Structure 1
Amino acid sequence: MITELILYSGFAGITVICGGLLANLFNHHVKDSPVKYEVIHGLMSFGAGIILSALALVLIPKGMEELELFPIIISFSAGAIIFLLIDQNLDKKGGQTATLLAMMMDFVPESIALGAVFAVDPNTATLLAVFIGLQNLPEAFNSYRDLTLSGFTIKKTLLILLGLSFFGIIAALIGHFYFSKSPKLTAHLMTFASGGILYLLIRDIIPESKLENKFLPSLGACLGFLIGIIGEKLI
């Protein structure tokens, strides 16, 4: 059973490094052109749509199933405020890591949830692993771009993404052994993450994905959200 959980969470996480490698290939081996920038911004919006779908269809609903109104308000507000402070600190340092933070804010809680769900419903956990893996690919693609623009070397950026790939397995095991019997704690974690994700989306990610007089970014966001709907219906 544990071997299966490691395989599922490993699949969900391996798309992080795959997205980074794809971004490296695209950024450094494809000539600059208007089409290239449209694709980049389209993928940014696609990732934003998937992140938003994770928030709206997985994290918030699962949190609301377990928590009363006041705990939801506290956890969600805490997530938003803490990531506002983190974002302000990064702004002072000139960093561009919003997409990476947003990816971690949904990848880690969902991986913990994957481990917790696997203990009681392996079939749902399998579909959740696929859903998380689909999310991680465009998010990692955009995170690679953000990190390299912030001054990280290609090697360091890929090592960060590789580490995150394996961290999903650790998070799933933590969820399986420690959170499967604490649904309220898992719900608090998901709601906290939702506040941080929504702040980062509105503050940093969505404005960065805009291209003047172009439709592809908006369409990409819709497609990303649609994939989230499909994943949720399958689950």
Structure 2
Amino acid sequence: MAGIAEIVLFTAGAGACIPLGGYIASHTHIRQQWLEQEFRHAVIALGAGILLGAVAMVLVPEALQYLGYAPWATLLLLAGGLLFYGLERYLDIHRHSAPQFTGMLLDFLPESLALGGLAAAGADATLLLAVLIGLQNFPEGFNAYQELRSASYPAKKVLLVMLALVPLGPAFGVTGY
């Protein structure tokens, strides 16, 4: 499999982990409040650890190989962080804050772009990055579902929105390619 078909398959597979995590969350019922909180903390930590692993093992080494130590890359990274902070702050002020869902969406799109760029560069780590993105999207989907259900959104609507996010991965992946 080569090129764009590979990117579409990899990003769709990684994106499909979002509604899969939400679906699992919709069928997980923990009665004791403290146990539910601790379980959610563990799932969030798992997702964050996988994301950090993907960045440290795949994205940073590949970027350094192709970009060198460009100062503009550091500025772009900081600008992206400030943009995400500003968006979450805006949503919080307007009482539409859903940090887990927003974070999931805002990292899935750049991850898909990066995956497409990595494939275009012919890197060997494309499949590894796709698997890491999928592993990280699963707990994010799980927690985003819990978060939106806690905000009284209907279960079916939450799962449909998560399912609608899946095609964004291939679209951004092809753009990155």
Relative to the length of structure 1, the TM-score reads 0.63
Equivalent residue for 2:40? 40
Q: Distance in 2 between matches of 1:7 and 1:14?
A: 10
Percent of pairs with identical residues:
34
Q: Which amino acid aligns with 1:112?
A: L
Instruction: Calculate the aligned-residue CA RMSD, in Å.
Output: 2.5
Is 1:170 the equivalent of 2:168?
A: no
Cα deviation 1:30-82 (Å, max 9, x = unaligned): 43353333212211222222233344444455555516553134212322322
2:14, 2:131 within 8 Å by CA — same for their partners in 1? yes
Change beyond 3 A, Cα 1:121–1:55? closer
1:40 and 1:87 map into 2 onto residues whose CA distance is 21
What is aligned with 1:18? 20
Q: 1:130 to 1:80 in 2, by over 3 A?
A: closer
Q: Is the 8 A contact 2:54 2:132 kept in 1?
A: no
The CA distance in 1 between the partners of 2:101 and 2:54, in whole Å, is: 15
2:109 aligns with 108
Measured in 2, the distance between the counterparts of 1:146 and 1:97 equals 7
Structure 1 unpaired stretches of 5+: 177-235
Aligned residue for 1:141?
142
Aligned residue in 1 for 2:127: 126
Q: Aligned equivalents of 1:173 and 1:145: distance in 2?
A: 31
- Deviation of 1:108 (Å): 1.7
CA deviations on 1:186-230 (whole Å, 9 max, x unpaired) are xxxxxxxxxxxxxxxxxxxxxxxxxxxxxxxxxxxxxxxxxxxxx
Native 8 Å contact 1:5 1:118 kept in 2: yes
Distance 1:156 1:119 in 2: 36
Question: What whole-Å deviation, never above 9, does each CA across 1:84-134 have from its counterpart, x for those lacking one?
Answer: 222222222333422223223332222122223323537422222111111
Question: Which structure carries more relative contact order (alpha carbon 8 Å, separation 6+)?
Answer: 2
* Paired residues of 2:48 and 2:136 also in contact (CA < 8 A): no
The superposition leaves residues 109-161 of structure 1 with CA deviations (integer Å, 9 ceiling, x where unpaired) of 22122223323537422222111111110111111122233343322221221
The change in CA–CA distance for 1:90 and 1:151 in structure 2 (over 3 A counts) is farther
Provide TM-score, normalisation by structure 2. 0.80
